[in-house]
Amino acid sequence: MTAHHLHLVSDSTGETINSVARACLVQFSGVEPVEHIWSLVRTRGMMNKVVGQIEAHPGPVLYTLVNLQLRDQLTSCCMRLGVPCIAILDPVIHTMANYFGVEMKGTPGLQHVLDAEYFGRMDAMTFALTHDDGQHCSDIAKADIILVGVSRTSKTPTCMYLANRGIKAANIPVVPGCPIPDELLQADGPLIIGLTKDPARLVQVRQNRLRMLTDDRQETDYVNLEAVRQEIAQARRFCVEHDWPLIDVTRRSIEETAATIMNYYARHIGAEV
């Protein structure tokens, strides 16, 4: 089988270019190229090493470079070898520069500068970890978003994803026979959203979870389909009674769920302005 090579060249951490490459490669089933990742490429000597490897293992090149000399060195090599060479941010940057009527700064790694936005994300991450699964409800009103739902409806990973966007998110489990914390019912600032899931799919997820934790196959209400149906129905009614939006996460990825939540949040903020 012929090996495909893909070179990812960046003058910063390479996080952006890796994310783009991942998003593109999933569209091609069965294609798993050998990735050559080059980060913090900021000198001619470092670029010489990159060019040498491209010559040894020709393949498409994706890059994010602001230094014009390094860009010319890379693109000349690719042109000589006849391999694609794509500056992934150029179309976006040029379009925005034309629209805003300003020039780009041309400084590598600006998106990773430790600015207020970065520390805001770190604060949000700490908040999500501290307020996971109903912990520390005493100050839950400080949250931007509170997710409510039965066990295994992706509340925690969704909160962590939102935290990476700078959103302070907490989550509260709805457990049969356990009262909902008064702090949640009294919180009038945060956006509260319920997460739900198809009962059959939820049982499957819970069974897989139990297998990871124990070899005990004893049937419990936690994985009993009829009990789970009632559990979900009760949680749904609770959300409807309090006029909280409900999102069915059965066929949604974490990213898709978070995008829907952010749409609700945008409207929530607008309503309070």
Please spell the DSSP secondary structure of 171-237, one letter per residue: EEE--TTSPPPHHHHH--SSEEEEEE--HHHHHHHHHHHHHHH-S-----GGG-HHHHHHHHHHHHH
> CA–CA distance from 253 to each of 153, 161, 175, 178 (Å)?
11, 11, 24, 29
The CB-side HSE value for 213 (13 A sphere, CA atoms) comes to: 8
Residue 156 annotated as binding site: yes
First to last CA, the chain: 60
Residue 142 annotated as binding site: no
Task: In whole angstroms, give the CA distance from residue 246 to residue 134.
Answer: 19
Amino acid making up residue 74:
L
Residue 154 annotated as binding site: yes
Residue 13 annotated as binding site: no
Residue 155 annotated as binding site: yes
Residue 152 annotated as binding site: yes
Residue 168 annotated as binding site: no
- Residue 35: strand, helix, or coil: strand
Task: In whole angstroms, give the CA distance from residue 37 to residue 33.
Answer: 12
> CA–CA distance from 189 to each of 19, 143, 183 (Å)?
34, 8, 12
Please say whether the beta carbons of 209 and 151 come within 8 A: no
- Residue 44: strand, helix, or coil: helix
Residue 12 annotated as binding site: no
Provide the annotated binding site for ADP.
149-156
Provide the annotated binding site.
149-156
